[in-house]
A and B are shown apart, each in its own frame.
Chain A
Amino acid sequence: MAAHDDTGRPDTAAPAIELKGISKAFGPVQANKDISIRVMPGTIHGIIGENGAGKSTLMSILYGFYKADAGEIWVHGARREIPDSQAAIAAGIGMVFQHFKLVENFTVLENVVLGAEEGARLTPSLSKARKLLKQLSEEYELHVDPDALIQDLGVGMQQRVEILKALYRQADILILDEPTGVLTPAEADHLFRILEGLKREGKTIILITHKLREIMEITDTVSVMRLGEMTATVKTPETSPEQLAELMVGRKVLLRVDKAPARPGETVLQVDNLKVTDSKGVERLRGVSLNVRKGEILGIAGVAGNGQSELLEVLGGMREGRGSVQLNGQELDLSGTKSDARTRRRRGIAHVPEDRQREGLIMDFQAWENVGFGYHDDPAYCRGMFMDNAALRKDTERKIEKFDVRPANADLAAKSFSGGNQQKLVIARELERNPDLLLVGQPTRGVDIGAIEFIHQQIVALRDEGKAVLLVSVELDEIMALSDRIAVMFDGSIMGERLPSETSERELGLLMAGISDTSREHSIKEVEENLAHSGGKVMT
Chain B
Amino acid sequence: MDFLTIIQIGDSTIRLATPLLLACLAGLFSERSGIIDIGLEGKMLISAFFSAAVAALTGSVWLGLLAGVAAAVIFSLIHGLASITFRGDQLISGVALNFLASGMSVLIAQDIFAQGGRTPSLSGDARFASLDLPFAEALSGVPILGPIYSDMLSGHTILVYVALLAVPATWYVLFRTRFGLRLRAVGENPGAVDTAGVSVKRLRYGAVLICGLLSGLGGAYLSTGLAAGFTQEMTAGRGYIALAALIFAKWRPWQALGACLLFGFLQAVSNRFNSIDLILFEIPNAFVLALPYILTVVILAGFVGRAVPPRAGGTPYVKER
Contacts and interface: CB of A to CB of B under 8 A. Distances in A.
A101 interface: yes
Given A86-B197, A95-B195, A106 B185 contact: yes
Given A56-B321, A65-B321, A113-B181, A85 B197 contact: yes
Interface string A55-80: 01100100101100000000000000
A122 B179 CA distance: 9
A105 B188 contact: yes
Given A84-B197, A98-B321, A114 B185 contact: yes
B321 A103 contact: no
A57 B321 CA distance: 8
Given A121-B176, A121-B178, A115 B321 contact: no
A109 B241 CA distance: 36
Contacts of B198: 86, 114-115
B189 A101 contact: yes
B177 A121 contact: yes
Interface string B215-247: 000000000000000000000000000000000
Nearest to B186: A103
A529 interface: no
Interface string A97-116: 11101111110001101111
Contacts of B319: 65-66
B189 A102 contact: yes
Most buried by A among B182, B185, B319: B185
B321 A97 contact: yes
Nearest to A118: B178
A32 B197 CA distance: 24
B299 interface: no
Nearest to B196: A115
Nearest to A102: B192
Given A65-B319, A104-B189, A114-B181, A97 B176 contact: no
Contacts of A65: 194-195, 319, 321
B94 interface: no
Contact of B178 (A84, A98, A102, A125): A125
Contact of A122 (B181, B188, B191, B197): B181
Contacts of A90: 197
B321 A114 contact: no
Contacts of A98: 321
Interface in B149-192: 175-182, 184-185, 188-189, 191-192
B195 to A, nearest CB: 4
Nearest to B197: A86
B178 A119 contact: yes
A282 B198 CA distance: 37
A260 interface: no
Nearest to A177: B321
Interface in B191-211: 191-199
Contacts of B184: 103, 106
Nearest to A117: B178
Contacts of A105: 188
Contacts of B176: 121-123
Contact of B311 (A85, A104, A120): A104
A63 B319 CA distance: 12
Contacts of A125: 178
A492 to B, nearest CB: 24
Interface string A138-165: 0000000000000000000000000001
Nearest to B175: A122
Contacts of B311: 104
B189 A103 contact: yes
B189 A115 contact: no
A38 B123 CA distance: 76
A116 B181 contact: no
Interface residues of A, number: 38
B201 to A, nearest CB: 11
A67 to B, nearest CB: 11
Contacts of A122: 175-178, 180-181
Contact of B193 (A110, A115, A121): A115
A85 B194 CA distance: 7
A89 interface: yes
A97 B319 CA distance: 13
A103 B319 CA distance: 16
A85 B321 contact: no
A114 B180 contact: no
Nearest to A119: B178
A66 B199 CA distance: 14
Most buried by B among A89, A117, A119, A125: A117
A60 B321 contact: yes
Contacts of B179: 120
B188 A104 contact: yes
A116 B321 contact: no
Most buried by A among B179, B192, B198: B192
A79 to B, nearest CB: 20
Contacts of A116: 196-197
A103 B182 contact: no
Interface in A467-507: none
Interface in B302-320: 311, 319
A89 B189 contact: no
Nearest to B178: A117
B121 to A, nearest CB: 44
A66 B179 CA distance: 26
Contacts of B185: 103, 106, 110, 114
A99 B319 CA distance: 13
A316 B175 CA distance: 46
Given A56-B321, A103-B185, A104-B311, A114 B177 contact: no
A513 B182 CA distance: 35
A376 B209 CA distance: 52
Most buried by B among A65, A84, A115, A117: A115
A165 B175 CA distance: 20
Contacts of A88: 197
Interface string B20-46: 000000000000000000000000000
Given A65-B194, A65-B195, 9 more contacts: A63-B195, A65-B319, A65-B321, A85-B195, A86-B197, A89-B197, A106-B184, A122-B181, A125-B178
Interface of B: 175-182, 184-185, 188-189, 191-199, 311, 319, 321
Interface of A: 56-57, 60, 63, 65-66, 84-90, 95, 97-99, 101-106, 110-111, 113-117, 119-123, 125, 165, 177
21 contacts: A60-B321, A63-B195, A65-B194, A66-B319, A84-B199, A86-B197, A89-B197, A90-B197, A97-B321, A99-B321, A101-B191, A101-B192, A101-B196, A103-B192, A104-B311, A110-B185, A114-B181, A116-B196, A116-B197, A120-B179, A122-B180
| In the complex, the 5 A-B pairs of residues with the closest C-beta atoms, listed nearest first | A115-B196, A86-B197, A117-B178, A101-B192, A85-B197
